[in-house]
Each structure stands twice: as structure tokens, then as C-alpha cells.
Amino acid sequence: MSSMFKSIKQGLTEAIEYERGNLPARVDRMVVSVLHTYSRDKVKEIRLRQKMTQRLFAEALGVSVKTVEAWESGKNIPSGCASRMLELLDRDSGLLEKYSIVALS
């Protein structure tokens, strides 16, 4: 028997045994980390660690300058995707360069 045939036969045998209740289901579980809330001071700290103006930071994150201004003044807080991006930047300051989102010229 070829190795491919053996692999297919084994998979079908396991599927039959599973349907009969003789094999436990394999379950992979994932846990998503809590979405952090970033204060105005923390947003500014992350931006300054990137050595960016509000304009450049906004452009790198894909938001408006007014959005970054609102975050840093405390009028609004980052939510959803922006919070995840801030978390990634907080963990890895070189992330934007690593993925060619920004480049030194």
C-alpha cells in the first residue's frame, strides 16, 4: 500500500470510530487577551517612543490627526483595532519599521 492510501485509510477509520463514539473529539481552544484601555498619557507615551508627531502617528495608524489629538487630550479613548495596534506598539516599538509601515529616510 502506498503511504497516501494508508493515511487516507487511517483518517477514514478514525472518522468512523469517532462517529461510533469510540474516539474523543479533539478540541483546540483559544483565549483572546483582554482589550486594554489606553489613557491619554499612555497614548502619548507610545507615540513619543515612536519619535513621531501626532500627524505622522495618525498616518501610520490610519486615523485622522484629530483622532490622535482627541486621544491625547482625553476627549476620546482608542477602541477596537486602534487599541490592539497600540498594544502591539507598546510591546514592540520597532513594529512599524519591521513591517515597512514607516521607514527612516
Q: Which grid cell is 102?
A: 514607516
The mean pLDDT of the chain is: 93
Is residue 8 in some structural domain? no
Residue type, 76: N
pLDDT score for 26: 74
pLDDT score for 28: 81
Is residue 45 in some structural domain? yes
Q: What is the CATH number of the domain that holds 54?
A: 1.10.260
Judged against a pLDDT cut of 70, whether residue 16 lies above it is answered with yes
Containing structural domain, residue 77: 40-98
pTM: predicted TM-score of the whole model, two decimal places: 0.73
Q: Which of 78, 76, 49 is nearest to 61 (CA)?
A: 78
Is residue 91 in some structural domain? yes
Q: Which of 89, 7, 76, 98 is nearest to 47 (CA)?
A: 89
Is residue 51 in some structural domain? yes
> Do residues 72 and 44 lie in contact, with contact meaning Cβ atoms separated by under 8 Å?
yes
Is residue 90 in some structural domain? yes
pLDDT digits (tens, 9 = 90+) for 48-98: 999 999 999 999 999 999 999 999 999 999 999 999 999 999 999 999 999
Is residue 28 in some structural domain? no
User: Structural domain tally of the chain?
Assistant: 1
Judged against a pLDDT cut of 70, whether residue 1 lies above it is answered with no
Is residue 68 in some structural domain? yes
d(CA 65, CA 83): 16
